[in-house]
Chain A
Amino acid sequence: MVSRTHRENKMTKVIEVNCETGVVTERDLTAEEIAQREADATAHAAAEAERTAAAEALAALKTSAKAKLVAGTPLTEEEAATLVI
Chain B
Amino acid sequence: MANTFELIASSTVGAGGASSIDFTSIPSTYSDLLIKCSLRTGEAAIYTDIDITFNGESARQWRGFYAVTTSLGTSTNTSFNIVAPATAANSTASNFSNCDIYIQNYTSSGVKSIGSEGVSENNSGSNFVLNMSGNTVTNGTAVTTINLVPFGGNSFVQYTTAYLYGIKNS
Residues of A within 8 A of B (CB): 1-22, 24, 26, 29, 33, 36-38, 40-41, 43-45, 47, 50-51, 54-55, 58
Q: 0/1 per residue, B1-17, Cβ < 8 Å to A? A: 00000001111011011
Looking at chain A's contact residues, the main secondary structure is: mixed
Asked if B80 is an interface residue, CB under 8 A from chain A, the answer is: yes
Asked if B47 is an interface residue, CB under 8 A from chain A, the answer is: yes
Q: Is the CB of B154 within 8 A of A2?
A: no
Q: How many A-B residue pairs have CB under 8 A?
A: 129
A43 partner residues in chain B, CB cutoff 8 A: 77, 79-80
Asked if B24 is an interface residue, CB under 8 A from chain A, the answer is: yes
- A45 and B73 CA atoms in complex are apart in Å by 17
With A7-B154, A8-B154, A41-B152 given, name 12 new contacts (CB 8 A). Answer: A1-B68, A9-B43, A9-B155, A14-B19, A15-B20, A15-B21, A17-B9, A17-B10, A37-B153, A43-B77, A44-B80, A47-B75
Asked if B45 is an interface residue, CB under 8 A from chain A, the answer is: yes
Q: Is the CB of B22 within 8 A of A14?
A: yes
Cβ-closest chain B residue relative to A45 = B152
Asked if B26 is an interface residue, CB under 8 A from chain A, the answer is: yes
Which size bracket describes the interface of B in this complex? 35 or more
Q: A43-B79, A47-B77 are in contact. Are A13 and B41 (CB under 8 A)?
A: no
- A37 and B51 CA atoms in complex are apart in Å by 10
A1 partner residues in chain B, CB cutoff 8 A: 68-69, 71
**By CB atoms of chain B within 10 A, which of A1, A19, A29, A55 has the most?**
A19
